[in-house]
């Protein structure tokens, strides 16, 4: 199976982490899926992903409970906690929930941690498809520094690949379309866990069901770009991203580092969009239950940078609480067209508080994003279009995609005013 065919364009979806942390429930998953089917599916949004700790019955926030008992089957595989996901009763796992998401015309994703449950290793439980046991394949010195659930899997041990094969065989039987694997793309203690990435990639191919493979957290090392592109569909270029301007400002450097690398099936990932109502049961990111702290201009900047760079767009807020403004950010057809159909995005100018990105559309037209990353309330800009790679003779008129305003160009100079932390996003035909 050619993994580049699984995600030919950057995925668009929703993930439960920013609003519910480790404590999301089936009712909340279903409710957000219903909203997406009604309001967003027509615009290309499709993935509904259950983030971490769905196998932990007493999870109640984004704070992990050290060495908490986890729900597990007889083959050392984690299973949904039935008190939070009632349809998982009787060993059905996520199949009923995935079936419901599919019935809405959407796709279903789950988060997992790299490795094998510690409680399986300590109990030395069985593995499916091999005579090896959990203890025999565990790499007990390979641990996650921020979550106690798992040990790494030693790829040199007999039965290691069979364990990962059994996981993805299970996920395929559930109908999973995306798997976000955590503690694997970058590590505070170790380098990128390449052997486990390779085992997971192989297990997906063997499972016989197309699944998007998303790797977290970041920053993924850019020197491994070819490896990531060969093995996965998405990989994080940042640690967890939250609604704080310094993190958004920093993302310009990260996107510039990776700017030549997005391509069909392979998407460097700027992380979730902390928009709308977030922090409901997630206390990460320096805040509790709140509306996003980004100003409207900062929200436009984030959406414009993610879209022109072609990061996956994964919304983090409680969809059902969206106001008209937040919904408008997700349903701008021209911005989404740029995200879906453009290529060759790059930073072409960085001068003081002014940053300019361009991208080409497959029809030969050009996108230009003009950012003001400074504190000056309004930044007057006179941009020579040749700097953006445009021929003035074919770029006499453009459209600002967020406002829909027509822009006239005088000679070869684009004159505009950009608010602090804001953007003007143009399409020149």
pLDDT tens-place string over residues 333-356: 999 999 999 999 999 999 999 999
Q: Are 70 and 119 in contact (CB under 8 A)?
A: yes
* Closest C-alpha to 155, from 146, 145, 147, 165: 165
Provide the token pair at 73.
């089957």
DSSP sequence for 226-246: HHHHHH-SEEESSS---S-HH
Same domain, 285 and 170: yes
* Closest C-alpha to 63, from 283, 386, 371: 283
Q: Are 51 and 15 in contact (CB under 8 A)?
A: yes
User: What dihedral do alpha carbons 166, 167, 172, 175 form, nearest 10°?
Assistant: 150
Same domain, 250 and 316: yes
Confidence of residue 187 (pLDDT cuts 50, 70, 90): confident
Using CB atoms within 10 Å of the CB of residue 290, give its burial: 0 to 12 exposed, 13 to 18 middle, 19+ buried.
Answer: middle
150-153/116-117 β-pairing:
antiparallel
Of 284-288, 307-311, 327-331, 379-383, the range with the lowest mean pLDDT is 284-288
- Per residue in 25-52, pLDDT (tens digit) is 999 999 999 999 999 999 999 999 999 9
Q: Is residue 222 part of a domain?
A: yes
Per-residue confidence (pLDDT) for residue 287, from 0 to 100: 76
Q: Is residue 205 part of a domain?
A: yes
Same domain, 418 and 317: no
Q: Is residue 172 part of a domain?
A: yes
Same domain, 270 and 414: no
Question: 422 has which bridge partners?
Answer: 372
Confidence of residue 395 (pLDDT cuts 50, 70, 90): low
| Interatomic CA distance for residues 101 and 82, integer angstroms | 18
Q: Residue 359 sits in a domain of what CATH number?
A: 2.60.40.1180
Same domain, 152 and 86: yes
What is the maximal distance between C-alpha atoms in the chain? 74
248 CB-side CA count, 13 A? 28
Say if residue 279's pLDDT is above 60: yes
Question: 347 has which bridge partners?
Answer: 357
**Total Cβ atoms within 10 A of residue 260:** 11
Cα angle, residue 425 at apex, residues 38 and 374 outer, rounded to 5°: 115
* Residue tagged 């505009």 (tokens): 416
Per-residue confidence (pLDDT) for residue 285, from 0 to 100: 74
Report how many domains make up the chain. Answer: 2
Q: Residue 235 sits in a domain of what CATH number?
A: 3.20.20.70
Q: Is residue 340 part of a domain?
A: no
- Per residue in 225-251, pLDDT (tens digit) is 999 999 999 999 999 999 999 999 999
Per-residue confidence (pLDDT) for residue 385, from 0 to 100: 84
Q: Are 117 and 70 in contact (CB under 8 A)?
A: yes
**Segments of 132-272 assigned E as strands:** 138-143, 150-153, 178-182, 212-215, 234-236, 267-269
Q: Is residue 81 part of a domain?
A: yes
Same domain, 303 and 360: no
Domain boundary among 331, 366, 383: 331
| Interatomic CA distance for residues 37 and 105, integer angstroms | 7
Note down the domain range covering 421.
Answer: 346-428
Q: Is residue 367 part of a domain?
A: yes
| Interatomic CA distance for residues 235 and 186, integer angstroms | 10
Say if residue 400's pLDDT is above 90: yes
């Amino acid at each position: 199976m050619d993994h580049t065919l699984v995600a030919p364009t950057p995925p668009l979806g929703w993930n439960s982490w920013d609003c519910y942390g480790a404590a999301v429930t089936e009712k909340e998953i279903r409710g957000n899926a219903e909203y997406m089917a009604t309001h967003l599916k027509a615009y290309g949004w499709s993935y509904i992903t259950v983030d971490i700790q769905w196998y932990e019955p007493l999870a109640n926030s984004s704070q992990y409970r050290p060495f908490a008992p986890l729900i597990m089957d007889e083959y050392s595989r984690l299973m949904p906690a039935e008190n939070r996901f009632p349809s998982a009763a009787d060993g059905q796992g996520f199949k009923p929930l995935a079936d419901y998401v599919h019935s809405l015309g959407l796709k279903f994703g789950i988060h997992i941690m790299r490795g094998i449950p510690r409680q399986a290793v300590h109990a030395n439980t069985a593995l499916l498809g091999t005579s090896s046991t959990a203890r025999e394949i565990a790499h007990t010195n390979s641990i996650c520094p921020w979550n106690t659930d798992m040990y790494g899997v030693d790829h040199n041990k007999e039965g290691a690949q069979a364990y990962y094969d059994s996981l993805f065989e299970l996920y395929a039987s559930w109908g999973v379309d995306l798997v976000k694997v955590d503690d694997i793309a970058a590590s505070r203690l170790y380098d990128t866990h390449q052997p486990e990435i390779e085992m997971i990639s192989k297990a997906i191919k063997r499972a016989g069901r197309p699944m998007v493979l998303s790797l977290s957290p970041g920053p993924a090392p850019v020197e491994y770009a070819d490896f990531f592109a060969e093995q996965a569909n998405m990989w994080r270029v940042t640690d967890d991203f939250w609604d704080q301007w310094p993190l958004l400002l920093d993302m310009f450097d990260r996107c510039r580092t990776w700017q030549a690398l997005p391509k069909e099936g392979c998407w460097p990932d700027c992380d979730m969009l902390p928009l709308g109502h977030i922090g409901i049961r997630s206390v990460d990111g320096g805040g509790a239950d709140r509306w996003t702290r980004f100003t409207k201009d900062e929200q436009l900047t984030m959406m414009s940078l993610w879209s022109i760079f072609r990061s996956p767009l994964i919304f983090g807020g409680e969809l059902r609480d969206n106001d008209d403004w937040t919904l408008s950010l997700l349903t701008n057809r021209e911005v989404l067209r740029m995200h879906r159909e453009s290529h060759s995005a790059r930073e072409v100018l960085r001068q003081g508080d002014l940053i300019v990105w361009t991208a080409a559309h497959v029809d030969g037209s050009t996108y230009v994003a003009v950012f003001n990353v400074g504190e000056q309330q309004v930044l007057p800009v006179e941009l020579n279009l040749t700097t953006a790679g445009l021929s003035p003779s074919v770029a006499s008129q453009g459209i600002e995609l967020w406002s829909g305003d027509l822009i006239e160009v005088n000679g070869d100079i684009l004159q505009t005013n950009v608010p602090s932390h804001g953007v003007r996003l143009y399409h020149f035909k």
